[in-house]
Amino acid sequence: MPRPGRNTYSEQKPPYSYISLTAMAIQSCPEKMLPLSEIYKFIMDRFPYYRENTQRWQNSLRHNLSFNDCFIKIPRRPDQPGKGSFWALHPSCGDMFENGSFLRRRKRFKVMMIMAAQEHLAQSKLSDAAHYLQQQSKLRLSALAATSTHLPQISSYNLGVSQPSTFKHPFAIENIIAREYKVPGSQSVSAGYPLHNPLTAAWPHMYNTMVDSVSPISMSGDYVAYRMPLKSMCHGGQTLPAIPVPIKPTPTPVALPGVLTPHIPAFLSNSYQSQSPTSPQAATSKSSPSTPGETHTNPTVQSVVVH
């Protein structure tokens, strides 16, 4: 794997797949969701390599957004003009790169399964959550317009600027690039979830519990020192999810005994096992040509990721 320069990859192609690049961009913003144009901008700002042949890689990137289940589309609200939707990471996609390579995932993230009557309850709050995210986005974009659209450089780029917490998602640019060159002076970096993250206000009973259940792992000293193998980062660290708002039809529920239970990701496990039955768990899925009639309005749907 090529070693990047200290602050830039210059003309060299970064050793990251489009999936990881996109995930970085999404994770870099406080709302955990970005329009396509912002994703483009993030990548071009960070990696000069991608300032050329834009048509080529942007086409590939769009392909990845549509094709991979780890990305979910969040529609704009009617009062929020603009082209395209927002893109977010699926709540359970944080451990895709277990093998430590950002060029190749250990397995493709795939939303397969649907079940549970929880979805019915989740649906009741889904619109509110989506509304909230949209509002956050709106505020952010307004702020960008009011100040500057220029993204800060790596050395100063910190989610904490606009977010009280110093939480770093495995896909966060700091985490990914810091594996290659340490951030000077970064002795202590909290890996806990943002206690003041807006989402906790939206779904407090869900996200607050996630914080409690996950932080003991994420606060690892190795992680803090940027020495933890990425495998551990991705597996132990949890994705701070954007609220998945299904746009596409949901595949027909198919029971796969023996697949579900052993591999329920921590995110889902938490919501399943340590949450009250009323815990909202938004579900989404890429459309399936074989199931054009199914929609997310099915009250029995629940997404489960199978690795």
Partner DNA sequence: CCGTGTTTAGCATTGA
Partner DNA sequence: TCAATGCTAAACACGG
Cβ distance to DNA smaller for residue 35 or 94? 35
Spell 101-119 as b/e; 16+ CB within 10 A means b: bbeebbeebbbbbbbbebb
Least gap, CB of 257 to DNA (angstroms) = 19
* 58, two tokens: 């942007």
State in angstroms the smallest separation of the CB of 21 from DNA. 8
Nearest-CA neighbor of 167 among 67, 105, 60, 240?
240
Which residues are paired to 71 by β-bridges?
89
- Decide whether 103 or 143 has the Cβ nearer to DNA: 103
Q: Residue type for 150, please?
A: H
| In the complex, minimum distance from the CB of residue 66 to DNA, in angstroms, rounded to a whole number | 3
Shortest distance (Å) from residue 48 CB to DNA: 15
Task: Pick the closer one to DNA by CB: 101 or 269.
Answer: 101
CA-CA-CA-CA torsion for 303, 168, 68, 265, nearest 10 degrees?
-30
What gap in Å lies between CA 19 and CA 16, rounded to an integer?
A: 8
Angle between helices 54-67 and 18-28 (to 10 degrees): 80
The rounded Cα 142 to chain-centroid distance in angstroms is: 22
Closer to DNA by CB, 50 or 203: give it: 50
Compare residues 72 and 301 and give the one whose CB is closer to DNA: 72
Q: At its nearest, how many Å lie between DNA and the CB of residue 293?
A: 13
Task: State which residue, 82 or 221, has the beta carbon closest to DNA.
Answer: 82
Residue 113's closest CA among 298, 302, 247, 300?
Answer: 302
Site residues (vs DNA, CB under 7 A): 16-19, 35-37, 40, 53, 56-60, 62-68, 73, 81-85, 87, 99, 101, 103-105, 107-108, 247-248, 286-287, 289
- Cross-strand partners of 89: 71
Smallest gap from Cβ 299 to DNA, in A, equals: 23
Rounded Cα distance, 226 and 118, in Å: 38
